[in-house]
Structure 1
């Protein structure tokens, strides 16, 4: 559960993260490179570095996270449609969501540097864990 302090840190990190609009694409590229088995969910994508398809999907990832940040008090409702899509249509292994979250941490640390303090990292990790939990709810 996110505390008020966590929520404040998440908002601060997010405001800095969105200054880097390719963060989502970078996280996806890291995901595909580090965990090549995740590519199986994107057989129709050009997965090369700088691909328009990866860049566009990265923007969708950022938009979904932005929606979650705006709805910190009710993530289940904010992410319900996305949870349905991943569980029922795409059938994405929920572990992949956690792997993407790890990659997103690396991208944030790279771009935010000293602004991604241990406290900010911990708060954003709680947030991403909550997002992953909500997205995996429909699998149960």
Structure 2
């Protein structure tokens, strides 16, 4: 559970994140490089840095995160459709949600430096863990 203070911190920080689409694409690319097994779900993608497919999917990732930030009190409802899509249609290994979360945090830390304080990191870790858990709910 996110505390009221963590929710405020997440909302304030998320509003300050520049180039969210770029960060989403970089996180995906980082995941593909660091965890090559995740590429199996994207056989039709050009997985080179900066490809249109990675940029497009990165935008989808941050759009979902943006929606989740706006619905912190009801992540389950906000991400239900996305959870169903991944579980029933795409059949993505739910471990990948955690891997992408880790990569996204690395991208935030690299680009935002001192603004990505330990408090922000801890709050985003809880938030992204909650997002990953909601996305994995339909697998049970």
Which bin holds the TM-score, normalised by the shorter protein? over 0.9
Residues 19 and 25 of structure 1: CA distance in aligned 2, closer, same or farther (over 3 Å): closer
Task: Provide, for residues 21-50 of structure 1, a one-character-per-residue CA deviation record: whole Å limited to 9, x for no partner.
Answer: 300000000000000000000000000011
Asked if 2 retains the 8 angstrom alpha-carbon contact of 1:32 and 1:39, the reply is yes
Change (3 A) 1:82 1:74: same
Q: Any unmatched runs of 5+ in structure 2?
A: none
In structure 2, the partner of 1:112 is 112
Moved more, 17-26 or 90-99: 17-26
| Cross-structure match for 2:97 | 97
Which residue does the alignment assign to 2:9? 9
The number of equivalent residue pairs is 140
Aligned to 1:26: 26
The CA RMSD measured in Å over matched residues stands at 0.8
Work out which structure has the larger RCO, using CA pairs closer than 8 Å and 6 or more positions apart in sequence: 1
Q: Secondary structure at the match of 1:49?
A: coil
Give the aligned partner of residue 78 of structure 1: 78
The 8 Å contact of residues 24 and 58 in structure 2, kept in 1 or not, is answered as yes
What does 1:59-70 align with in structure 2 at a 5 Å threshold? 59-70=59-70
In structure 1, how many angstroms separate the alpha carbons of the residues matched to 2:31 and 2:61?
13
**1:122 alignment partner in structure 2:** 122
Given that 1:32 and 1:38 are in contact with CA atoms closer than 8 Å, whether structure 2 keeps it comes out as: yes
The range that moved more, 20-29 or 54-63, is: 20-29
**Separation of aligned partners in 2, 1:93 and 1:24:** 19
Deviates more, 1:64-73 or 1:12-21: 12-21
For the 8 Å contact 1:13–1:124, the answer to whether it is kept is no
- Three-state SS of the structure 2 residue aligned to 1:38 is helix
The alpha-carbon deviation at position 13 of structure 1 amounts to 2.0
| Secondary structure of 2:43's aligned partner | coil
Displacement of 1:12 in angstroms is 1.9
State the TM-score, normalized to the length of structure 1: 0.97
